[in-house]
Amino acid sequence: MKVKSICLMIALAALSFSALAQSEKVLGGKDITESALIQALSPATGSGDTPTRTRSIRVSPENASIGAAVKPASASLMITFETNSATLTPRAKQSLDVVGEALASNKLGSFRFAIQGHADPRGDSEANLRLSQLRAESVRQYLVQSKQIDESRLEAVGKGDKELINSSNPAAPENRRVTIINLTQ
């Protein structure tokens, strides 16, 4: 009986994790605003977060990480590239101009970030990994050169096709995204 219960709990946890991953919002177009990015990329602080009370047990961001990993602040963005290349489209450059403004703001100016390139699983997995790395580097280069973001604050990481947001539709556009993660938590 205990084994069945444990297996059921593991299965439910896996399903909820899958649903959580698929519910991640990907910002695109007019949703990419300086205020939305600052909010998404700012690490949680103890002063602004209200602790949850449960029968005299307090769970707050400071001690919540004892039993569970704290997810770093991040934002997933629809940044478009020319087909099968790392060349940014004009629309992508407009979005990255907003990203640059947010990263240069007083609220985010002291943090370091990873720029992750993601691909959908169409094509060869190794080629997708290379392309996602080149795209992450292209975004990083644009932010450094065009928005004067200090290059030591940005790290480009290609993730390939392994972290799909929409696994029910592998070719979905949200699987081809750029995710920016705050590394200074």
- Tens digit of each residue's pLDDT (9 = 90 or more) over 57-92: 444 445 444 555 678 999 999 998 888 899 999 999
- Nearest one of 137, 125, 117 to 177, comparing CA atoms: 117
Domain coverage including residue 97: 23-45+56-182
Please check whether residue 107 lies inside any domain of the structure. Answer: yes
Within the chain, how many helices (H) and strands (E) appear? 5, 7
pLDDT for res 99: 97
Cα–Cα distance between 102 and 158 in angstroms, integer?
Answer: 22
CB proximity list for 145: less than 8 A, separation 6 or greater: none
pLDDT for position 66? 52
pLDDT value for 21: 41
Residue 13: inside a domain: no
Domain CATH for 122: 3.30.1330.60
Residue 154 forms part of a structural domain: yes
Are 102 and 108 spatial neighbours (Cβ–Cβ below 8 Å)? yes
Closest C-alpha to 94, from 34, 159, 158, 175: 34
Q: What is the pLDDT of residue 69?
A: 65
Asked whether residue 143 is assigned to any structural domain, the reply reads: yes
pLDDT the model gives residue 71:
81
Taking the C-alpha atoms of residue 30 and residue 48, their distance in angstroms, rounded to an integer, is 27
Position 90 in a domain: yes
Q: Which residues of the chain have pLDDT under 50?
A: 5-23, 46-61, 63-65
The pLDDT of residue 25 is: 84
Give the per-residue pLDDT at 185: 65
Residue 87 in domain: yes
Counted domains in the chain = 1
* Residue 6 included in any domain: no
pLDDT at 88: 95
